Structure formats: structure tokens, C-alpha cells
Amino acid sequence: MNRRREIALHWGWMLLAAVALVAPAAGAQETGEAVATKLVAATPFTDHMVLQRDTEARVWGWAEPGTTVKVEFAGKSATGDADDQGRWEVAIGPFDASAEGRTLKVTAGEQSLEFKDVLVGEVWIASGQSNMEWRVEHANDGEKEVAAANWPQIRLLDVPHVTAEDPRGTVPTQGWQACSPQTVGPFSAVAYFFGRKLHEDLDVPIGLISVNWGGTTMEAWTSRTALAESDNYAGWVEKAEAETEFDPKTAQYRPGSLFNGMLAPMIPYDIRGVIWYQGESNAGQADKYRDLSEIMITDWRERWNEGDFPFLLVQLAAFEPGGESWPYLREAQMQCQELPNVGMAIATDIGHRTDIHPRNKQEVGRRLALIALAMAYGQDLESSGPVYRDMLIDGSEVTLCFDHGEGLACDGESLVGFELAGPDGKYHAATGTIADDKVVLTSDEVAEPVAVRYNWTGFTTGTLRNSAGLPAGPFRTDRW
């Protein structure tokens, strides 16, 4: 499917979705062609929403073609005309952050819409599979967390599971909700703890849009157009479309299906960035995951048209059944940081040996927030654990140097998780010490070391961290 056809179908879905919201035959043409006749705002616009500060604050929806639509908010107003398909879009910003609940009004002729209790602050998309979808009420101390979640300036928008063969214009939601013990329980735990930390540090309203589905692959969250335009995926996407029919029971696994059904209706709602926790379902595709990530991230950024906004990933946590494939997937995730404004929260130290859903979502959210505070908001703080830089081999001894390695330490009395290999390429457990923020390693079984790896297993045991308490991610120096 080429991009022009996809865009046409996208607007067609939007128009049909708008028409579905109006009374039948309210001026529709007798030819059967769908024509919007009633003023409608797009999915993200409801009471209690948060508008992104310091941006255009784009508002869009549908009205009768040719109608002039006026949007008013916080003393500003702007107008735009509905095109021949009925879609209109108006940029009403920028606005400073504000916790004052105000009304956004949309008018088209004698029709009008009002959205009340609208705040201005920071808006983030939270997306991925089940570890991002994991509920607050099911996280560590879930009952206490829910009871204490009285944060009226944090607003939550949860997008339901919807698949589609082509990009949709709308998706049904319960609308934005103020965060409270009555609303937070079923919401994404990682997103909530991330947003809570941002709110505490920035002291501005926070809007969180949860768009996720457990067990799904990155391909499902990427538009088929972007996949088809990639040299690595074009043939595979065409083959998948030709050999399988759309089945609502399994459609969440089809390329583009979740982008079409759940994400497209959110675009182009102005956002600050994205947090992304996914990879378990792509663990067998480590050789493709880095390239696939670039395709998806680039696709989202182009469609939002807000530049290279921060895209913050969570590396796969420790999990023994992950086996030999998970270290390579983690490596591919780490390589995604080669892209501009992509960050990585390490989670190998807070996983569970046999549960793919570790419950400590508080720390995952906090680590993502640290990266956001540094990358998106320019705060001078340590947001990364130690990152391997280089090594020096002196006989049978190897010395490792790290970036972000100030105050290197480990849990317990000795280093674990490190291995050395000689010219034969076989790895053996290494012993080591920390000296002057460097790691010094030896192994009785490796007289001539040539390579090192750390935490290169499904369930990791190494606990190397810096003075900020942030862990080093798994790494290897070989490319065998």
C-alpha cells in the first residue's frame, strides 16, 4: 500500500467515524457518499484533558465541508475551514503551563462544543506490550499505591484495544480522567509512576495517554507503509498480507493493525515524547530489532511532525526463561540509542527469575522519568547507569572503563556476572575488583583474555551500579 493511498484511507476513516457520530441523513447526500454534517472533535479532546505547553496545540475534528471552525482557549482564538472531506484543524497555541481548569470551546456556525477543566502541561504517550499495560493495582504495594493516588493535576487517557486494517480517525475511550484512587487502579503502572515523578519534579500538570496491548510485536505498532518502504521488511509485509486474511481474533499480531486502530486516532495531538516498553514478543528477532525500531520511531516522529521528540525505552528485565535470545535483544535495544533523542532505562536488576511481569514498576517509571528530566527538560542529573567504554588487556588481567561510572559499586562483597574469553571464543566466569571506578577482571581458566561480557544471560545476577544507584546494562566486547 503506498503512502498516498494510506493517507486517503486515513481521512476516509476519519470522515466515516465522524459521520457515525451524527444523526442519520442529517443532510447526507442521496448518492450514499458520507458527508459530515455535525461538528465533531477528534478522540483526544474531552473534559479534563491536558494540552501540551509551548507547542502549536493542534485541535482537529470534522464539520460540514467548507464550514469555518473557531477554537477558543485561555484568551486566544484561531479559525480554520473544514476541507472537502469535512476535516478541520486549528493551531491554538502556544500556552504556558497552567493548573487552572479552563474551557476550550469549538464553534462552527450555530453548533458548538465545550470541553471543561482543561489544563496545560506535559503530555506523554505510553505504549508497548504487557509490561507497559500492567496495572497500578497489580504492581508492588498496589493497594497502597491506589489509595494514595490523589493527584488531580495528573490526567489519564486510556485507549482500548482496537485493531484495524487501515488507519482509523477515532477510537472510543472513556475520555480523560483526573488521577485519583477511583481512576488509577487499571491504568498503566509504568506510565503512572513515570508521570508522578515528572509532576513532583516539574510541578506542572501531566497528561498520560496509555496505548498498549499485551503480547504484541513492534510490527503491529508500525504503519504498514513504513514497513513496506523498508528494504528489510517490504517483501515480508507483502507476503503477510497476501497469505493471511484479517481476523479480529488475532488481528493484533498483524503488521500495522495497532498503529491503525489505536495510535492513528491520537495523531497529531501535541506531545512531549513517548515511553516504550516492548520487546518480549520480538525476542527471536534480535538481528532485525534495531532496524525495526528505527523504522517505527522515525515513522511516529514523521507523522506527529514535532521533530525528534524523546523516545524512551525500557530494556528487557531479568527473566530466566528468556534464555539465550534475550541478551541479544537487549543489545539491539541498547543500539537504538544511536538514534537521536532515544534513551534506555535498564531493568535487569529488578526482574523476576520466572515471572515475565516483574512487579517493581515504580523503579521502572522513576528511571524513565530521570532520563526524561535530563533529555527533555535539561536538568543536570545522572540518568544513566555505567556504560562500557573500553578495556585494557595486560597479560591475563583485563581493566574495564565506563562512562557514567562515578562511584562504581556492587551488591555484596564480590563482582558477579562477568565472563572472560580467550582466543578460542569460550567464555568462563571471571572474578574481579573495583578500583578507581574501573573493573579489574581475571579468570583462572583464561590465560590470554581477548573479550569480556557482562550479564549475558536471560536472568542476570550482576549488580554493578554507580553512585546514583543506577545499574550497568548487559554488554559484550566481542562480535562473535
Residues 263-316: pLDDT tens digits?
A: 999 999 999 999 999 999 999 999 999 999 999 999 999 999 999 999 999 999
Question: Which residues are within 8 A (CB) of 16 and not within 5 positions of it... i.e. 6 or more apart?
Answer: 34, 169
pLDDT at 29: 26
For residues 333 and 352, give the distance between their C-alpha atoms in angstroms, rounded to a whole number. 20
Q: What is the pLDDT of residues 345-385, one digit of tens each?
A: 999 999 999 999 999 999 999 999 999 999 999 999 999 99
pLDDT at 235: 74
Instruction: Identify the CA nearest to 233 among candidates 296, 161, 190, 139.
Output: 296
pTM listed for this prediction: 0.92
Stretch 446-470: mean pLDDT, rounded?
Answer: 98
Grid coordinates belonging to 467: 553512585
pLDDT at 5: 41
Would the pLDDT of 437 be above 80?
yes
Q: What is the pLDDT of residues 134-144, one digit of tens each?
A: 999 999 999 99
pLDDT at 334: 97
Q: What are the residue ranges spanned by the domains of the chain?
A: 3-115, 122-375, 387-476
Question: Which residues are within 8 A (CB) of 191 and not within 5 positions of it... i.e. 6 or more apart?
Answer: 124, 126, 132, 208, 210, 275, 365
Instruction: Identify the CA nearest to 389 among candidates 402, 378, 370, 404.
Output: 402
pLDDT at 35: 60
For residues 195 and 312, give the distance between their C-alpha atoms in angstroms, rounded to a whole number. 13
- pLDDT higher for 77 or 234? 77
Grid coordinates belonging to 106: 469549538
With cut-offs at 50, 70 and 90, classify the pLDDT of residue 236. Answer: low
pLDDT at 423: 97
pLDDT at 249: 86
Instruction: Say which amino acid occupies 351.
Output: G
pLDDT at 239: 66
For residues 412 and 123, give the distance between their C-alpha atoms in angstroms, rounded to a whole number. 40
- pLDDT higher for 245 or 156? 156
What percent of the chain stands above pLDDT 90? 87
pLDDT at 245: 73
Tell the CATH superfamily of the 122-375 domain: SGNH hydrolase (3.40.50.1110)
Stretch 206-217: mean pLDDT, rounded?
Answer: 98
Grid coordinates belonging to 133: 499495560
Would the pLDDT of 222 be above 90?
yes
Q: What average pLDDT does the structure give for the chain?
A: 92
> Residue 463 region, left (φ>0) first, then alpha (ψ -120 to 50), else beta?
alpha
pLDDT at 432: 93
pLDDT at 207: 99
What percent of the chain stands above pLDDT 70? 91
With cut-offs at 50, 70 and 90, classify the pLDDT of residue 237. Answer: confident
With cut-offs at 50, 70 and 90, classify the pLDDT of residue 213. Answer: very high
Within 13 Å of residue 242, how many CA atoms lie on the same side as its CB? 6
Under a CB-based contact definition with an 8 Å cutoff, are residues 101 and 155 in contact?
Answer: no
Question: Which residues are within 8 A (CB) of 80 and not within 5 positions of it... i.e. 6 or more apart?
Answer: 68, 69, 71, 88, 89, 90
Grid coordinates belonging to 304: 506527529
Residue 431: count other Cβ atoms within 10 Å of its Cβ. Answer: 14
With cut-offs at 50, 70 and 90, classify the pLDDT of residue 234. Answer: confident
Sign of CA dihedral 227, 232, 235, 241: negative
- Kindly report which listed range (73-77, 84-88, 242-246) carries the lowest average pLDDT score: 242-246
With cut-offs at 50, 70 and 90, classify the pLDDT of residue 413. Answer: confident
CA-only gyration radius of the chain, Å:
25
Would the pLDDT of 444 be above 70?
yes
Q: What is the pLDDT of residues 159-186, one digit of tens each?
A: 999 999 999 999 999 999 999 999 999 9
pLDDT at 393: 98
